């Protein structure tokens, strides 16, 4: 049914104006950017299909390649969506911008959860810090399959030298949503810590990111 035939109070735009944006579903919010539907499907249904094709909102916001093919989602609509996705990504990154000082695991945990939790495959990332624990850079360094990502210490060493880092925080996600560190996680952390010690870079933490939560190996005493 076209949105124009919905009860006025249930239409996304009118609902937003009367109740606030937080009352809208993910698909309804997307519908406001999509604008119009296609033959036989309204904008909310297009939003639902887009979310299903990506695997959810978090995965959509982490999409760096082409959006899933959805009939009725033409070039103009895709451009609008890609623009808002990029704005959301920049807003997230601004919370951990260059020069930000990190004092405790909570300073970086929320950013890492927002950035990594939505991927349907493993991603290994690093936050590079100076000797006062101020952020120099954030990099997603390795990507893998649904249950593993190959991490190469030599490449991490190169990145530390490139950023002139004095310290580093590692993170990777578990697509299963369960952030419990595995034996492999502990082993690669130990290997990376040894490699970093050779160039005088301290490993402050390694976060395992799950669905809306994360585990700090430093807080677990695993570093």
What DSSP assignment string belongs to the chain?
--GGGS-GGGSHHHHHHHH-GGGS-HHHHHHHHH-S-BTTB-HHHHHHHHHHHHTSHHHHHT--SPPPP-TT--HHHHHHHHHHHHHHHHHHHHTT-TT-B--SHHHHHHHHHHHHTT-SS-EEEEEEE-TT-BEEEEEEEEE--SS-----HHHHHHHHHHHT-SEEEEEEE-TTS--PPPHHHHHHHHHHHHHHHTTT-EEEEEEEE-SS-EEETTTTT--
What does each C-alpha distance from 11 to 36, 57, 80 come to in angstroms? 13, 21, 20
Say whether pLDDT at 188 is over 80.
yes
**For the segment 3-22, what is each residue's pLDDT rounded down to a tens digit?**
988 999 899 999 999 999 88
Residue 121 · residue 176 · CB < 8 Å? no
**For the chain, which residues make up each domain, given as ranges?**
3-93, 98-216
Residue 63 confidence (pLDDT)? 66
More confident call, 111 vs 176: 176
Of 221, 223, 218, residue with least CA distance to 106: 218
Residue 212 confidence (pLDDT)? 78
Say whether pLDDT at 88 is over 90.
no
**For the segment 132-171, what is each residue's pLDDT rounded down to a tens digit?**
888 898 899 998 876 777 899 999 999 999 999 999 999 9
pTM of the model: 0.66
Residues paired with residue 125 on neighbouring β-strands, in sequence order:
140, 171
Q: pLDDT category, 53, cuts 50, 70, 90? A: confident
Residue 149 · residue 172 · CB < 8 Å? yes
Residue 131 · residue 167 · CB < 8 Å? yes
Residue 166 confidence (pLDDT)? 96
What fold is seen in the domain 98-216? Cytidine Deaminase; domain 2 (3.40.140)
Q: What is the mean pLDDT of residues 200-215?
A: 93
Say whether pLDDT at 67 is over 90.
no
Q: pLDDT category, 114, cuts 50, 70, 90? A: confident
Q: pLDDT category, 111, cuts 50, 70, 90? A: confident
Q: Chain-centre distance of CA 77, in angstroms?
A: 23
Of 59-73, 146-160, 184-198, 204-218, the one with minimum mean pLDDT is: 59-73
Q: What is the mean pLDDT of residues 70-83?
A: 85
């Amino acid at each position: 049914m076209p949105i124009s035939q919905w009860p006025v109070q249930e239409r996304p735009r009118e609902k937003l104006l009367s109740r606030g944006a937080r009352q809208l579903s993910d698909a309804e919010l997307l519908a406001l950017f999509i604008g119009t539907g296609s033959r036989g499907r309204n904008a909310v249904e297009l939003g639902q299909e887009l979310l299903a094709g990506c695997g959810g909102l978090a995965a959509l916001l982490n999409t760096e390649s082409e959006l899933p093919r959805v009939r009725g989602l033409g070039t103009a609509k895709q451009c609008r969506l890609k623009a808002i996705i990029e704005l959301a990504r920049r807003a997230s990154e601004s919370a951990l911008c260059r020069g930000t000082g990190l004092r405790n695991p909570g300073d970086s945990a929320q950013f890492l959860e927002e950035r990594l939790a939505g991927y349907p495959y493993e991603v290994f990332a690093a936050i590079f810090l100076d000797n006062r624990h101020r952020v120099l850079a954030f990099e997603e360094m390795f990507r893998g399959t649904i249950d593993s990502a190959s991490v190469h210490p030599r490449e991490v060493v190169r990145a530390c030298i490139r950023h002139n880092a004095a310290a580093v925080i590692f993170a990777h996600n578990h697509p299963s949503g369960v952030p419990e560190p595995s034996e492999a996680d502990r082993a690669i952390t130990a290997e990376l810590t040894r490699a970093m010690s050779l160039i005088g870079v301290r490993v402050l933490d390694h976060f395992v990111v799950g669905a809306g939560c994360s585990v700090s190996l430093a807080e677990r005493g695993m570093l």
